Structure 1
Amino acid sequence: MDYWLGLDCGGTFIKAGLYDRHGTELGIARRTLDIIAPQPGWAERDMPALWHTAAEVIRELLARYDIAAAGIQAIGISAQGKGAFLLDPQGQPLGNAMLSSDQRALAQVQEWQKQGVPQTLYPQTRQTLWTGHPVSLLRWVRQHQPERYRRIGSVLMAHDYLRYCLTGELACEETNISESNLYQMNDERYDPALAQLLGIGDIMPVLPPIVGSAEIAGRVNAAAAEATGLLSGTPVVGGLFDVVSTALCAGLQDETRLNAVMGTWSVTSGITDSITEGFDHPFVYGRHAEAGKYIVHEASPTSAANLEWFCRQWGISDYAQLNDWVAALPKAGSSLLFAPFLYGSNAGLGLSASFHGLQAFHQREHLVQAIYEGVVFCHMTHLNRMRQRFPAAKALRVTGGPAKSAPWMQMFADVSGLPVELPQVEETGCLGAAMAAMVGSGAFRDFTAAQLALAPHIERVLPDTAAGENYGKKHQRYQALIAALQGLQSGHQEVL
């Protein structure tokens, strides 16, 4: 049989999945990925270790399911976006990669904001400025590590680096690089004037060529074949920014559905064929995998990774137990609030996480419930903005690990007042990457055809109106807490 392999590189796991031409999943292999934090606010990844882990997970998948390498028709890669994976002129890693959740460039972004740089950029790039954007990190390296900056030979992002390791070919994939602030959205190209505005004009010569999601960007070379068990010469397509991958697997095709991704990042996405003006809020647009379409999204690193942190601190690995704890408590019945800002905020640069209202009678169950609620409330910040841009949206499709949690999904439906639709896909990143490989190898003519052919079963969770009223009151208290934290942060900055 013919198979397509999808590799998905996220914030905490790397996964490989095998699929037949009907989208049937043969199997998944996964490994954890370490985040290196040598200083507060830094989030790095060892690049050789990442490639070694990726190679291991591919080899494990092929061996576990006894798949001949010749049966793999093509390979796609989906990965967390933004960040910076730097190579030297010889193609070797230039230090650790800096991830999208890295905040070392906070002072630089704040200075750009004071200067009005985001407002100048937005009409050209359709991007905001974030600490984990490639341009922010590159400017930081230029200022603080000038020798490293002078040695940059290529600027990549996660799936570009993994594709390079597989093929030896350098390229930047369009759904990801279109959100780098180095790309003119209207002209569909790099723009030296953007880099010049950001103080990194000399970076242009080391930006690799842009490739499409389904474009064959290289073939597995001999060294990668030996490391992975793949067949030398197997095509590798451009791949996908992971928010695009999940939107494809969630079945988003028009403006009637939005997709909430719950992982390291809180993401709400929609698909459109036009850039619409006239909003006070600067909606982020990126190139969609399908020609002529855009993905619009709101995002912040404020989602389920907060729960992962809590579980690590208390040695909890039984997620069914967490769900039982939350389900046993009255909905919105606790006064305890949690701001899910362990890895960043969507309410202002520099805000930190906190529990508020903690008292001696509170148990672990209450803390877990507060984390579930805080993550949903944080998602609502993005969802409420996106519903202004997508007023025709009548349901929310949720993907990511928390989509398997019945009480969490009921909570999301209750708080949002929207039906929550759950695509029954084990790993959207892997399937989306495999979908790109299918299109690139000719199994489908385009992504729309692939979506229709591979459409998953959808389960629906309907909102509870009475619970929604209670959550509405608690959501207001959450918003008051965030406003207080913003005031505290502002006062702290004034003191400094």
Structure 2
Amino acid sequence: MNYYLGIDCGGTFVKAALFDETGNLQGIARENVPVISDKAGYAERDMPQLWQVCAEVVRKTIAESKISPDLIKGVGISAQGKGAFLLDQNQQPLGRAILSSDQRSLDIVKQWQKEGIPEKLYPLTRQTLWTGHPVSILRWVKEHEPERYARIGSVLMSHDYLRFCLTGELHCEETNISESNLYNMEKGEYDPVLADLLGLKGIIEKLPPVIQSNRIAGYVTEQAAKVSGLAVGTPVVGGLFDVVSTALCAGLEDETKLNTVFGTWCVVSGITDHIDPNQSLPFVYGRYAEENKFIVHEASPTSAGNLEWFVKQWNLDYQRINEEIASLPPAASSVLFVPFLYGSNAGLGMQAGFYGIQSHHCQAHLLQAIYEGVLFSLMYHLERMLKRFPATKVLRVTGGSAKSEIWMQMLADFTGMTLEIPEIEETGCLGAAVIAMQALNNNLTVTEILNKGIKVVRPNPDNFDLYQKKYQRYVTLTAALKAML
């Protein structure tokens, strides 16, 4: 039996999981990697620490599995997108990595919007423009830390950096770098015109070659083997943007299904074989893990990360949270929560908060409002995606929050849609491992691995109007808050 390792570098944890050829989990480990926020709006990571944690979880996974490293035939990495992981000319970390949830470039993005830059970019990149994009971060570094900017040798994203640590080889993986605003979606390559529009002339030279998800990018070095426990020479493939990994595990094959991710980010995605130029909304496209296909998605950091913050502050238990919320009548409370702790999809610079609290409310009402607020924020993306994918019949849901039966029932009742929840855990790790399987075994069929079972959640029509009425209050509240900016 051969084995494949999948690494998932997310917004909160780094995980590693080892699978056999049939997708059965043989070992798993995870560790928290702190997000450093020294100033308002900052979200950074210490790059050497990230690699140390990654190597440690790989070592723990191999140890737990009791499988010889020589039997691990390939490694794939799935990771959060955007942000900027910078190396200097000597291929050493150039300060801390700046993550996609970082908002320091807010004024730059607002200025670009005034100048009409997003409208000029979109026909070429099929991207919107916001603070977490590499280009926004790079422009901020250029303006505020010019000495650091001048020392840039390579611009990477998180899985590119970890792959470099494993192999010593520099690449930018296509599903992730295609959403950087430096990649021409039609041409399938970097475009210096884009850099010039953004005031980043010459930055294209700092971007390593593009590599596809399931192509071998390099091999585990002796140094990386010592700290990770992997065998020297183990192949490492390009890997995946975690949104693509999740869509792959959700079994999106055509335009009849959408996938919703409830993780640190709220993401709604669909798969298509063409860019539709007739849509009035600026849908975000990216290269998919399958040839000649695109992923289309709407996303914002307005999801379960908000709940995790409260859990951390008051040491709450997830099971107890679900039990307390289940004891309350659906959508009956006047409490609203705006889930913008890490960013907004309603307006640049908007912040989180509760509204409608009265003296009879308790902690359970606040937690219920968090669950509802995340769903109400999701609806912004879902309504837009249904315009691009009007043939959608079901909503497939993945991410850690899909384990909450009460939260999933709330989602079904609120949307009126039937949910399908793939019985796959650790979609980031499995998707990365599957890509490694594809690269190293052309005869391997992965369909059965990714379709092991589906849990169906059907909506309760009695609750639909209740949620819709409360949702309209949420929309009114966010509009009022936006007017205060």
TM-score, length-scaled by structure 2: 0.99
Report the alpha carbon displacement of residue 277 of structure 1 after superposing the two structures with TM. Answer: 2.0
What 5-or-longer segments of structure 1 have no aligned partner?
490-496
Secondary structure of the equivalent of 2:395? strand
Counterpart amino acid of residue 386 in structure 1:
M
Report the alpha carbon displacement of residue 27 of structure 1 after superposing the two structures with TM. Answer: 2.2
Query: Do structure 1's residue 229 and structure 2's residue 225 form an aligned pair?
Result: no
Question: 2 CA distance for matches of 1:214 and 1:79?
Answer: 15
Q: Which residue of 2 aligns with 1:494?
A: none
Q: Which residue of 2 aligns with 1:118?
A: 118
Q: How many residues align?
A: 485
Secondary structure of the equivalent of 1:343? coil
Q: Which residue of 2 aligns with 1:454?
A: 450
Report the alpha carbon displacement of residue 473 of structure 1 after superposing the two structures with TM. Answer: 0.3
Question: 1 CA distance for matches of 2:232 and 2:129?
Answer: 40
| Contact residue 248 and residue 451 of structure 1 kept, 8 A | no
Question: 2 CA distance for matches of 1:256 and 1:175?
Answer: 22
Question: 2 CA distance for matches of 1:388 and 1:348?
Answer: 21
| Contact residue 435 and residue 450 of structure 1 kept, 8 A | yes
Equivalent in 437, 447, 471 of residue 467 of structure 2: 471
| Contact residue 325 and residue 367 of structure 2 kept, 8 A | yes
Query: Do structure 1's residue 380 and structure 2's residue 382 form an aligned pair?
Result: no
Question: 1 CA distance for matches of 2:138 and 2:225?
Answer: 32
Q: Which residue of 1 aligns with 2:340?
A: 341
Q: Which residue of 1 aligns with 2:284?
A: 284
| Contact residue 259 and residue 399 of structure 1 kept, 8 A | yes
Report the alpha carbon displacement of residue 426 of structure 1 after superposing the two structures with TM. Answer: 1.1
Query: Do structure 1's residue 488 and structure 2's residue 484 form an aligned pair?
Result: yes
Q: Which residue of 2 aligns with 1:44?
A: 44
Q: Which residue of 2 aligns with 1:405?
A: 404
Q: Which residue of 1 aligns with 2:439?
A: 440
Question: 1 CA distance for matches of 2:350 and 2:12?
Answer: 22
Counterpart amino acid of residue 457 in structure 1:
G
Q: Which residue of 1 aligns with 2:368?
A: 369
| Contact residue 249 and residue 451 of structure 1 kept, 8 A | no
Secondary structure of the equivalent of 1:70? helix
| Contact residue 444 and residue 450 of structure 1 kept, 8 A | no
Report the alpha carbon displacement of residue 7 of structure 1 after superposing the two structures with TM. Answer: 0.2
Structure 1 segment 31-430 matched on structure 2, within 5 A: 31-316=31-316, 318-430=317-429
Secondary structure of the equivalent of 1:83? coil
| Contact residue 31 and residue 53 of structure 1 kept, 8 A | yes
Matched residues, percent identical?
A: 61
Report the alpha carbon displacement of residue 453 of structure 1 after superposing the two structures with TM. Answer: 4.5
| 1:111-139: CA deviation from partner (whole Å, max 9, x where unpaired) | 00001100000000000001010000000
| 1:430-489: CA deviation from partner (whole Å, max 9, x where unpaired) | 0000011001112556xxx52355323100000111101100100000100011111111
| Contact residue 134 and residue 180 of structure 1 kept, 8 A | yes
Question: 1 CA distance for matches of 2:306 and 2:281?
Answer: 26
Counterpart amino acid of residue 411 in structure 1:
M
Counterpart amino acid of residue 336 in structure 1:
V
| Contact residue 78 and residue 242 of structure 2 kept, 8 A | yes
Structural RMSD (CA): 0.9
Question: 2 CA distance for matches of 1:460 and 1:48?
Answer: 42
Secondary structure of the equivalent of 1:73? strand
Report the alpha carbon displacement of residue 46 of structure 1 after superposing the two structures with TM. Answer: 0.3
Counterpart amino acid of residue 362 in structure 1:
H
**Superposed structure 1 runs of 4+ greater than 4 Å apart:** none
Secondary structure of the equivalent of 1:153? strand
Report the alpha carbon displacement of residue 416 of structure 1 after superposing the two structures with TM. Answer: 1.1
Report the alpha carbon displacement of residue 280 of structure 1 after superposing the two structures with TM. Answer: 2.2
Counterpart amino acid of residue 422 in structure 1:
I
